[in-house]
Amino acid sequence: MEQTFVMFKPETIQRRLCGPILQRLENKGFKLIAMKLMTIDEDLAKEHYAEHSGKSFFPELVEHICSGPVLAMVWEGDGVIASIRAMMGKTNPLEAAAGTIRGDFGVTMSLNLIHGSDSAQSAAREIKLFFNPEELQTYDLSLGKWI
Protein backbone atom coordinates (compact mmCIF):
# COMPACT_ATOMS: atom_id res chain seq x y z
CA MET A 1 0.00 0.00 0.00
CA GLU A 2 1.38 3.39 -1.00
CA GLN A 3 2.20 5.94 1.71
CA THR A 4 2.70 9.69 1.55
CA PHE A 5 3.73 12.51 3.84
CA VAL A 6 1.35 15.46 4.25
CA MET A 7 1.92 18.55 6.34
CA PHE A 8 -0.55 21.29 7.22
CA LYS A 9 1.53 24.46 7.41
CA PRO A 10 1.34 27.10 10.18
CA GLU A 11 -1.33 29.13 8.35
CA THR A 12 -3.62 26.09 8.29
CA ILE A 13 -3.34 25.78 12.06
CA GLN A 14 -3.75 29.54 12.59
CA ARG A 15 -6.82 29.72 10.34
CA ARG A 16 -8.35 26.65 12.02
CA LEU A 17 -8.70 24.78 8.72
CA CYS A 18 -7.40 21.37 9.87
CA GLY A 19 -10.87 19.87 10.26
CA PRO A 20 -12.24 20.74 6.81
CA ILE A 21 -9.05 19.66 5.06
CA LEU A 22 -8.72 16.43 7.08
CA GLN A 23 -12.30 15.62 6.21
CA ARG A 24 -11.53 15.87 2.49
CA LEU A 25 -8.67 13.37 2.83
CA GLU A 26 -10.76 10.99 4.92
CA ASN A 27 -13.75 11.31 2.60
CA LYS A 28 -11.53 10.28 -0.31
CA GLY A 29 -11.00 6.98 1.50
CA PHE A 30 -7.37 7.30 2.52
CA LYS A 31 -6.17 5.88 5.81
CA LEU A 32 -4.40 8.07 8.35
CA ILE A 33 -1.56 6.08 9.91
CA ALA A 34 0.40 8.79 11.77
CA MET A 35 -0.19 12.34 12.95
CA LYS A 36 1.56 14.81 15.23
CA LEU A 37 1.27 18.50 16.00
CA MET A 38 4.76 19.93 16.24
CA THR A 39 6.90 23.00 15.78
CA ILE A 40 9.71 22.41 13.30
CA ASP A 41 13.18 23.63 14.23
CA GLU A 42 15.49 25.29 11.71
CA ASP A 43 17.65 22.18 11.17
CA LEU A 44 14.67 19.97 10.33
CA ALA A 45 13.21 22.70 8.09
CA LYS A 46 16.46 22.98 6.14
CA GLU A 47 16.66 19.21 5.76
CA HIS A 48 13.02 18.96 4.70
CA TYR A 49 13.43 21.71 2.08
CA ALA A 50 17.00 20.74 1.06
CA GLU A 51 16.04 20.59 -2.63
CA HIS A 52 15.42 24.35 -2.49
CA SER A 53 18.69 25.21 -0.73
CA GLY A 54 20.48 28.04 -2.52
CA LYS A 55 17.32 29.40 -4.12
CA SER A 56 16.34 33.00 -3.37
CA PHE A 57 13.17 32.00 -1.49
CA PHE A 58 14.86 29.34 0.70
CA PRO A 59 15.40 31.53 3.81
CA GLU A 60 11.78 32.74 3.72
CA LEU A 61 10.56 29.14 3.28
CA VAL A 62 12.54 27.95 6.32
CA GLU A 63 11.48 30.93 8.44
CA HIS A 64 7.82 30.43 7.57
CA ILE A 65 7.63 26.69 8.27
CA CYS A 66 9.28 27.32 11.67
CA SER A 67 6.91 30.20 12.55
CA GLY A 68 4.28 28.09 14.28
CA PRO A 69 2.95 24.58 14.76
CA VAL A 70 2.40 22.27 11.81
CA LEU A 71 0.39 19.06 11.60
CA ALA A 72 2.58 16.28 10.18
CA MET A 73 0.82 13.18 8.87
CA VAL A 74 1.28 9.94 6.99
CA TRP A 75 -1.57 8.76 4.78
CA GLU A 76 -1.93 5.39 3.09
CA GLY A 77 -3.93 4.16 0.11
CA ASP A 78 -3.83 3.12 -3.53
CA GLY A 79 -2.47 6.02 -5.58
CA VAL A 80 -2.41 8.24 -2.49
CA ILE A 81 0.55 10.38 -3.64
CA ALA A 82 -0.91 11.48 -6.99
CA SER A 83 -4.42 11.75 -5.62
CA ILE A 84 -3.50 14.01 -2.69
CA ARG A 85 -1.33 16.14 -4.98
CA ALA A 86 -4.36 16.60 -7.25
CA MET A 87 -6.57 17.42 -4.26
CA MET A 88 -4.06 20.04 -3.11
CA GLY A 89 -4.14 21.97 -6.37
CA LYS A 90 -1.43 24.11 -7.92
CA THR A 91 1.17 25.60 -5.57
CA ASN A 92 -0.04 29.14 -6.26
CA PRO A 93 -3.58 29.38 -4.85
CA LEU A 94 -4.41 32.05 -7.45
CA GLU A 95 -3.86 29.40 -10.14
CA ALA A 96 -5.37 26.46 -8.23
CA ALA A 97 -8.71 25.17 -9.46
CA ALA A 98 -11.86 25.61 -7.44
CA GLY A 99 -12.57 22.44 -5.53
CA THR A 100 -8.91 21.90 -4.62
CA ILE A 101 -7.60 22.64 -1.14
CA ARG A 102 -5.46 25.55 -2.29
CA GLY A 103 -8.12 26.79 -4.71
CA ASP A 104 -10.76 26.86 -1.98
CA PHE A 105 -8.71 27.94 1.04
CA GLY A 106 -5.36 29.30 -0.20
CA VAL A 107 -4.47 32.98 -0.03
CA THR A 108 -0.99 33.53 -1.48
CA MET A 109 1.91 31.52 -2.87
CA SER A 110 3.75 31.74 0.47
CA LEU A 111 0.59 30.82 2.41
CA ASN A 112 -0.52 27.77 0.43
CA LEU A 113 -1.63 25.70 3.42
CA ILE A 114 -0.37 22.21 2.68
CA HIS A 115 2.65 20.16 1.66
CA GLY A 116 2.39 16.73 0.09
CA SER A 117 5.14 14.43 -1.13
CA ASP A 118 5.61 14.55 -4.90
CA SER A 119 6.95 11.00 -5.39
CA ALA A 120 7.42 7.69 -3.61
CA GLN A 121 11.09 8.58 -3.01
CA SER A 122 10.18 11.96 -1.48
CA ALA A 123 7.48 10.34 0.64
CA ALA A 124 9.91 7.77 2.07
CA ARG A 125 12.50 10.48 2.84
CA GLU A 126 9.97 12.86 4.40
CA ILE A 127 8.25 10.19 6.48
CA LYS A 128 11.63 9.21 7.97
CA LEU A 129 12.40 12.86 8.76
CA PHE A 130 9.22 13.35 10.79
CA PHE A 131 8.29 9.91 12.16
CA ASN A 132 9.97 6.93 13.77
CA PRO A 133 8.85 3.59 12.33
CA GLU A 134 7.02 2.67 15.55
CA GLU A 135 4.83 5.78 15.20
CA LEU A 136 3.24 4.45 11.99
CA GLN A 137 0.06 2.59 12.87
CA THR A 138 -1.08 -0.64 11.22
CA TYR A 139 -4.79 -1.35 11.32
CA ASP A 140 -7.68 -2.35 9.09
CA LEU A 141 -10.44 0.05 8.17
CA SER A 142 -13.82 -1.50 8.84
CA LEU A 143 -15.00 0.00 5.53
CA GLY A 144 -11.80 -1.00 3.71
CA LYS A 145 -13.38 -3.51 1.39
CA TRP A 146 -15.88 -0.92 0.15
CA ILE A 147 -13.34 1.82 -0.55
pLDDT in tens, 101-143: 999 999 998 899 999 999 999 999 999 999 999 999 999 988 7
Query: What does the pLDDT look like over 38-72, one tens digit per residue?
Result: 999 999 999 999 999 999 999 999 999 999 999 99
Select from 34, 39, 132, 125 the least CA-distant residue to 74. Answer: 34
Query: The pTM is what?
Result: 0.94
Residue 48 annotated among the catalytic residues of the structure: no
Q: What's residue 35's pLDDT? A: 98
3 state DSSP class of 1: coil
22 C-beta neighbours (distance < 10 Å), count: 17
Residue 147 has pLDDT above 70, yes or no: no
Q: Which CATH architecture has domain 3-135?
A: 2-Layer Sandwich (3.30)
The CA distance from 49 to 19, in Å, is: 26
